[in-house]
Chain A
């Protein structure tokens, strides 16, 4: 049963409506399309009790996801741990700090498993047998893994200079992997041209309308795991800016459906200084961003021309929120801090999230006395390259007790 009535363009007035198909931009203004839900119907069907009785995966909120039928791909994705981070909270001087750890998502250890589960389930509904993506790495891992499990052909385009672990973690699934010489923005442009001449479902291009909605499940889970309470503050890293806008949307949806009280939740953005078009715009009070040529170790966030940049800037301005950026050194330091305090090895993007959080706590943008949730989007095992020579090496000894005793600990 579907709760989506049509696709709508938010930018046109009155909103243009389109049939549910593989369409990602408005015919009139090229603006992004969003599924339009029948919230009155959802309100009658969806209760906390009903959700609580379902399996612990992202599909427990399926009424709020844009499928017409039951999901067929990524059935075990989501419901990652929300950790009360008391050690880190003490160091940062924050009263209540939580880590939403999507670095242990299934099957490919990043939040991208959620959006791919939705996009490939939709691709199957729409009858595609070949799917694809333009990726900075995590999406490549997830599309490769989930298309393998779903028996779909796939074409996965990545920048050729990605971290080895992200390339291997894509190629292992035996799909078509194309390394493009250039930045992610080059890859993205190429893929937009590739779909013009092929009948393929690219998860983050022509299926993007559906794909992006999968990110909302991060927000639903945070609220449910907090005991059906909306947090006061959430910090999210930004590449295209989509995750930030969709997590905010998820909070508003649950409030509007009456499933949770309004806590005036604020969401804050985080970027690497070497690729911070959205943060720079927010800091300068611009309505739009200037595209940049990325130069950062946070390769998963290295999008210089962010598709949802304008949406993210508008949202952050509208709710009087903020966005920060951090240097490569601050990213590595934050990765180490999270590992040493909470036992969580996050990828560089997680270092961006924590690094920017520290800055926003220091400059007073985030109130230390309010509940704070950090969304950790990926796993550190995938981005080890920037840590080489930055982490203490093991003491090497022969298997002799006296040699061990000589080491000063």
Chain B
């Protein structure tokens, strides 16, 4: 089971939980699973066409999924997935 870190702006959907669990095997599956657990999550994380919003970055074990296989990236048991607002820093 992977650990998923939820950023502050999304915690309204998770009853303020900052970490949740998921059995998903890819990022795409993860977003669907989070939406099942916490309805409305997919709308927040994805554009209406299903692509991940441009202002959201997703990391698997500290690596930006854009350096992996993007939304197809594989999530393994014990991985940590972080959802991070892109507008930070600099």
Contact = CB atoms under 8 A, between A and B. Distances in A.
B85 A25 contact: yes
B76 interface: no
A242 interface: yes
Interface in A185-206: 185-189, 191-193, 195-197, 204-205
Contact of B64 (A31, A134, A182, A291): A291
B87 A25 contact: yes
A16 interface: no
Given A30-B55, A196-B7, A310-B54, A240 B89 contact: yes
Interface centre among B53, B59, B89 (most CB of A within 10 A): B89
B81 to A, nearest CB: 12
A11 B64 CA distance: 23
A27 interface: yes
Interface of A: 11, 24-25, 27-32, 134, 182, 184-189, 191-193, 195-197, 204-205, 208, 239-242, 288, 290-291, 293, 303, 305-308, 310
Contact of A291 (B7, B9, B44, B66): B66
Nearest to B66: A291
A305 B62 CA distance: 14
Contact of B88 (A31, A188, A293): A188
B67 A25 contact: no
B37 interface: no
B8 interface: yes
Contact of A306 (B7, B54, B55, B90): B90
| Chain A contact residues: helix, strand, loop or mixed | loop
B88 A204 contact: yes
B89 A32 contact: no
25 contacts: A11-B55, A24-B85, A25-B55, A25-B87, A29-B55, A30-B44, A30-B53, A31-B87, A32-B87, A184-B89, A188-B88, A191-B89, A192-B89, A193-B84, A195-B8, A196-B5, A196-B8, A208-B87, A208-B88, A208-B89, A240-B89, A240-B90, A242-B90, A291-B66, A308-B90
Nearest to B53: A30
Interface string B71-90: 00000000000101111111
Contacts, number: 88
B56 interface: yes
Interface centre among B44, B54, B90 (most CB of A within 10 A): B90
B22 interface: no
- Nearest first, the 9 closest Cβ-Cβ pairs linking A and B are A240-B90, A30-B55, A188-B89, A32-B87, A205-B88, A25-B85, A307-B90, A192-B88, A307-B87
A290 B67 CA distance: 9
Interface residues of B, number: 24
A13 to B, nearest CB: 13
Interface string B23-53: 0000000000000000000001000000001
A291 B44 CA distance: 22
Contacts of B5: 193, 196
B69 interface: no
Contacts of B82: 189, 193
Contacts of A24: 85, 87-88
B66 A290 contact: yes
Interface string B1-18: 000010111000000001
A310 B56 CA distance: 12
Nearest to A33: B87
Nearest to A306: B90
A374 to B, nearest CB: 20
Contacts of B84: 189, 192-193
Nearest to A304: B64
Nearest to A27: B9
A14 B84 CA distance: 24
B21 interface: no
A11 B55 CA distance: 10
Contacts of A195: 8
Contacts of B86: 30, 305, 307
Nearest to A32: B87
Contacts of B66: 290-291
Contacts of B8: 195-196
Contacts of A310: 54
B56 A189 contact: no
